[in-house]
Amino acid sequence: MSHFNFENELNSVLRMDAPISKGPTMRWQKRMDNQQDCNNANISVNSSLNASTTTTTSKTPMKNLNRSMNNPNPKTPSAGSGGKTPKSGGKTKTPGKAPKTPSGGDRFIPSRSSSQYDLGHFKIMNSNTEDPELLSPSQKEFQKVMSENLNGTDVGAGKVLSYQTKAPTAPAGFQNHLRVVYSKTPASTAKKTTRNIPQVPERILDAPDILDDYYLNLLDWSVNNQLAVCLGGSVYLWNAASGDINQLCQMETADEYIGAVAWIKEGNYLAVGTSNGEVQLWDVTATKRLRNMSGHSARVGSLSWNSYILSSGSRSGAIHHHDVRVPNHHISTLQGHNQEVCGLKWAQDGKFLASGGNDNLLNIWGAQPGGFITDNQPLYTFSQHQAAVKALAWCPWQSGLLASGGGTADRHIRFWNCNTGTCLQSVDTKSQVCALQWSKDYKELISSHGFALNQLTIWKYPVMSKVAELTGHTARVLHMAMSPDGSTVVSAGADETLRLWKCFQVDELKKKVQSTSTKDTKSKLSMTSIR
């Protein structure tokens, strides 16, 4: 009979569509059997616990234990899952870990693996570098570009520990219940708009034979848009509108030279100071010398007009006042300096005359009505400067405010209230101050420098922060003058060049708005006065 049993088994094996009656149990059947055994075990445990709970007299609640026993180990799938293991993306996921969501669950912890150790080492090794506050805007920009090229990032703005992974964004409509604790007023993101200041000159003119002398004043710009330049023993006039150049005068001998020029307020007459102590008055329209006023014992290096009164400063330290209307032109002499007078400026309202000398003194003279100064004693004498005071400029929009600059040993720009005789503030420019000019449309002033920067600097008043630095001169920038519209500054350097900088140009739209508002205000005032 055994051979019949063998044949039956062989036939059943060869029959492919018939179920296999013998063999190992299938994997899914094992899983189902295990799951069924676990459920039976849980049912038996729960029934025994419930029975013990009803019979015990203990006051300790068993709710937490029942919850823990009703919810088995998270690693074991529950019976409600239908006997299927939860899957995520084809891989088994541990149900015990909650997803990181912004609305609840775990907080966001950024990755700290992006620590810039090279940057930290560089900052430690270069901690003794120059103070960045002392650097000019151009030097700061140069360091930033070099840092980006060499290190791949701006070292000054870089951080040793940076968070490159951003936190996940919250879903729409999400409300953070901790916003009162952790929220703060965001900083303003509005960018500070500044006007465009050209860093290159609009035009460059040759100035051959211009004297490299700090104590002279060889440049002035008239209201008729004519620029007077002293080149050795000659005076040339350049018409800024047409570009024409004409020679006004020339000294008789090669040893003589021009030391100063100054336009009268109306712009039709030019005063010329010479090396032989004379002051000449020229009619530029007729190209004719009107008069020659003598009296100084040494060269004349500074000139300034106050209506029809012409003041001249000499190397002897004397200041002469000339009334150009009368034959006896010499009115008075001021003896406030014992060395050369290199700076001389009348205030716009004619109340004060400022004089600076090579004796490091700055004198303020008070004028009587009509522009006469009869008192030989200065109203104020300031001795804070430690070098010659040549650069002088009266503020056009604040009466009595004077800016003065010192030479190489001083290097300071100082501001004076001449109504009270006090020094308002001073700033160290790190360079010789040769000339100063106030802007007519902005609360700024520009200074020209000699040793060792040889540049022009625009300052914001009264904070005295640098607005821009204009470079290009290769030697001392000894003289400056401003155009009649106040938009252009011309600088004359010892490198024998004249450079025109359009650094105070006003936006035409803003200018129209300001002029319109001014007209409206005037019309309202006139209507009010009529009523």
Q: Look at residues 204, 134, 208 and name the one whose alpha carbon lies nearest to residue 473.
A: 204
In tens, the pLDDT along 185-205 reads 444 444 444 678 999 999 999
Give CA–CA dist 47/34, Å, rounded: 20
pLDDT band at residue 481 under the 50/70/90 scheme: very high
pLDDT, position 64: 47
Homologous superfamily of domain range 203-508: YVTN repeat-like/Quinoprotein amine dehydrogenase (2.130.10.10)
Give CA–CA dist 318/320, Å, rounded: 6
In tens, the pLDDT along 325-377 reads 999 999 999 999 999 999 999 999 999 999 999 999 999 999 887 666 767 88
Whole-angstrom distance between the N-terminal and C-terminal Cα of the chain? 142
In tens, the pLDDT along 21-71 reads 556 666 667 777 777 776 666 666 555 555 555 544 444 444 444 444 444
pLDDT, position 30: 72
**Mean pLDDT within 499-507:** 90
How many CA atoms does the CB half-sphere of 140 hold within 13 Å?
A: 12
Give the residue with greater pLDDT, 462 vs 158. 462
In tens, the pLDDT along 63-122 reads 444 444 444 444 444 444 444 444 444 444 555 454 444 444 556 565 555 556 666 666
* Total-model pTM: 0.62
**Cα 89 to Cα 86, 93, 138, 504, distances in angstroms:** 10, 9, 57, 67
**Mean pLDDT within 458-477:** 94
pLDDT, position 8: 76
pLDDT, position 316: 94
Query: CB within 8 A of 343, min separation 6: which ones?
Result: 302, 313, 354, 355, 356, 357, 389, 390, 391, 392, 404
Average pLDDT, the chain: 79
Query: CB within 8 A of 237, min separation 6: which ones?
Result: 226, 227, 228, 229, 245, 246, 247, 248, 284
- Whose tokens are 């964004």? That residue is 169
Question: Strand, coil or helix: what is 248?
Answer: strand
In tens, the pLDDT along 162-173 reads 555 666 676 766
pLDDT, position 242: 92
In tens, the pLDDT along 235-246 reads 999 999 999 999
